[in-house]
A and B are shown apart, each in its own frame.
Chain A
Amino acid sequence: MPPRLSLDDLAALVRRAGLPMTPEQIAALHQGSWGYLETMLDRVSGAGVDRFAEPAATFDPEQR
């Protein structure tokens, strides 16, 4: 599944995350799973989610 993100932009994300990946590893990620991940991110995107929709993880003030 071809990714929308460019290889250079993915490399920038990797640098921002501080991961010591080689160019070959970044290219493998780009050509491998990144396109699938973009499809999943589209599925969880906010479009269609009710404005008042709360996340499942809610803060417990007692932190038991």
Chain B
Amino acid sequence: MAIPTIAEAHALFAKKALSPVELLDQCRERIEALEETLHVFVTPTFERAGDEARAAEARMMSGELLGPLDGIPIGHKDIFCTKGIRTTAQSRILADYVPDEDATLVHRLAEAGTLMMGKLTTYEFAMGGPSFDLNWPPARNPWGIERMTAGSSSGTAAGVAAGFILGGTGSDTGGSVRVPSGHCGIAGLKPTYGVLSRKGVLPLSFSLDHAGPMAWTAEDCALMMNAMAGHDPGDPSSSRHDMPDFTGNLGRSLKGLRIGVVGHFHETDNPANPAVLGAIGEAAAFFAEAGAEITSVTLPSLQAFNAVSHVLITVEAAAVHQGDLRSRYGEYGELLRSRLTPGALISGVDYVQAQRRRREMVLEVARVMEGVDILLTTSTPAEAKPLFGDQKLRNLDLPPFTAPFNVTGQPAISVCAGFGAEGLPLSIQLAARPFEEPLLLAVADAYEKAHAWRTRRPALLGYAEPRAVPLTLGPHPEASERPERVRAHHWSARSAGRP
């Protein structure tokens, strides 16, 4: 594997076997070869990343790395505000919006020493996509460029899978971190509601919006969480819980862990295909072999969760966009218009009933979680669908597997669970009780480390792969060399970090 994880890159930095500048160059090589195909970036900021890489390299050489994220190339979904850098939400409505302040999470990740590679493709306002009538195209799935990445954190998922970045930010209101993570074969965590600040993240639904880290592995998500989590007085929903070390439980034994398989989610509510069912069954068998107790649990149906989720999201989103819907209706993409409009027509009574149902569901799931530590299902019912085709009704007749944990607010993670017949990623989803991210990440990490999925990257990278960096921690024999270009730089107009 030539593309290091965050943990591996940090270990190589510590040994001076790789430098942040070299790592940045490797990412740039892949970007220059494949960005025109994958459409990961809305606004690249490579000049800034280069400056940050040189500063990180200086810290590395003087033995003063700030921590595991120092010198790591990342990107931010283009709904995270970035000071002085346009933040478009992939919409004509905000095409020229340049915030004067960083989102809290952008600031915290910069303080940790990350290299900001750019602003990443999303669905319009994290809701309308994949759309082809916007100023920017949707991201393509590196595992199959005619397939959806899903969304809405699509650029982050595709960028991590393709090795453009080693991690990035996403937001998840009904699954927008976990579903693209599943389809792109990476790890994506939706933490407990309130653990990560929403300040400076363009809102979709105040009740259900969660920010989350996305990376190649659960371990990398844990490393990102350590830099991202913590109370933010600027976010009224920010938790005041003491934040743990999110890597603290990695490597723990799974013996005695109680895992509840939510069979009706993937067997009857939204039947998953045989490959996904096989992956869930294999995961359950793995956990049992590792000493966990596997049981079957029953939660409210996916349809019931989806109804609550859909009403809350569409009404709150319509409230956020009310002014522009009335005055700039035609400037929204067709897909987002079709999804926002019903929210403006739903009655106040129906909205309150959805919030009452939500609380009932939270309490019902909490009762189930008294008997189990972890829930197991999938994050997607099948491999990624074709990118083209009518998207308008997709979320309505097939309830997502991810929305339940936005409704309950508990943490959930999607991790790669192998590959289907066409070589497209499969995924499982794990969920834990609120504020038990360290346990959740440890279980996901144990699962990943016991399987070989993490050594496999999209075949698309074959011709673009830079000279391999050895991941054994000895000195790099060619540490001073830079990878050769594999293709001419053919999108220079967009690479200067300017709109």
Of B236, B345, B353, B396, the contact of A17 (CB 8 Å cutoff): B345
> Which residues of A are found within 8 Å of B233, using beta-carbon distances?
64
Binary contact readout B313-342 vs A (1 if CB under 8 angstroms, 0 otherwise): 000000000000110011000000110011
CB atoms of B329 and A19 under 8 A apart: yes
Interface residues of A (CB under 8 A from B): 1, 10, 13-14, 17-21, 25, 28-29, 32-34, 36-37, 39-41, 43-46, 49-50, 53-57, 60, 63-64
Cα(A28)–Cα(B308), bound, Å: 24
CB atoms of B341 and A54 under 8 A apart: no
Assuming the contacts A55-B359, A56-B207, A63-B236, asked whether A19 and B325 have C-beta atoms less than 8 A apart, the reply is yes
Interface centre among A36, A37, A44 (most CB of B within 10 A): A44
CB atoms of B396 and A54 under 8 A apart: no
Rounded to whole Å, the gap between the CB of B195 and the closest CB of chain A is 16
> Which residues of A are found within 8 Å of B392, using beta-carbon distances?
32-33
B307 within 8 A of A: yes
CB atoms of B350 and A41 under 8 A apart: yes
CB atoms of A44 and B357 under 8 A apart: yes
B356 within 8 A of A: yes
B479 within 8 A of A: no
B96 within 8 A of A: no
Cα(A31)–Cα(B338), bound, Å: 12
- SS class of chain B's interface: helix, strand, loop or mixed? helix
Rank and list the top 10 A-B pairs by shortest CB-CB distance, nearest first. A55-B355, A43-B307, A36-B396, A40-B307, A56-B358, A56-B359, A17-B344, A44-B354, A13-B345, A53-B356
Chain B residue nearest to A50 in the complex (CB)? B360
B352 within 8 A of A: yes
Of A33, A36, A46, the contact of B353 (CB 8 Å cutoff): A46
B393 within 8 A of A: yes
Cα(A45)–Cα(B329), bound, Å: 30
Assuming the contacts A19-B329, A40-B307, A55-B359, asked whether A10 and B353 have C-beta atoms less than 8 A apart, the reply is no
Rounded to whole Å, the gap between the CB of A23 and the closest CB of chain B is 14
B443 within 8 A of A: no
Interface residues of B (CB under 8 A from A): 207, 233, 236, 303-304, 306-308, 310-311, 325-326, 329-330, 337-338, 341-342, 344-346, 349-350, 352-360, 362, 392-393, 396-397
A-B contact pairs, 15 of them (CB 8 A): A14-B341, A19-B329, A20-B329, A32-B392, A33-B338, A33-B342, A34-B342, A36-B393, A37-B346, A43-B308, A43-B357, A44-B311, A49-B356, A56-B359, A56-B362
CB atoms of A33 and B393 under 8 A apart: yes
> Which residues of B are found within 8 Å of A32, using beta-carbon distances?
338, 392-393
> Which residues of B are found within 8 Å of A43, using beta-carbon distances?
303-304, 307-308, 357
CB atoms of B350 and A10 under 8 A apart: no
CB atoms of B355 and A49 under 8 A apart: no
CB atoms of A10 and B356 under 8 A apart: no
Of A10, A25, A36, the contact of B345 (CB 8 Å cutoff): A10
Rounded to whole Å, the gap between the CB of B311 and the closest CB of chain A is 5
Interface centre among B349, B352, B357 (most CB of A within 10 A): B357
Of B341, B354, B359, B396, the contact of A19 (CB 8 Å cutoff): B341
> Which residues of B are found within 8 Å of A33, using beta-carbon distances?
338, 342, 392-393, 396
Of B236, B325, B342, the contact of A60 (CB 8 Å cutoff): B236
Cα(A28)–Cα(B335), bound, Å: 12
Rounded to whole Å, the gap between the CB of A15 and the closest CB of chain B is 10
Assuming the contacts A36-B397, A44-B311, A54-B356, asked whether A20 and B326 have C-beta atoms less than 8 A apart, the reply is yes
Rounded to whole Å, the gap between the CB of A29 and the closest CB of chain B is 6
CB atoms of B344 and A41 under 8 A apart: no
Of B330, B344, B353, B396, the contact of A44 (CB 8 Å cutoff): B353
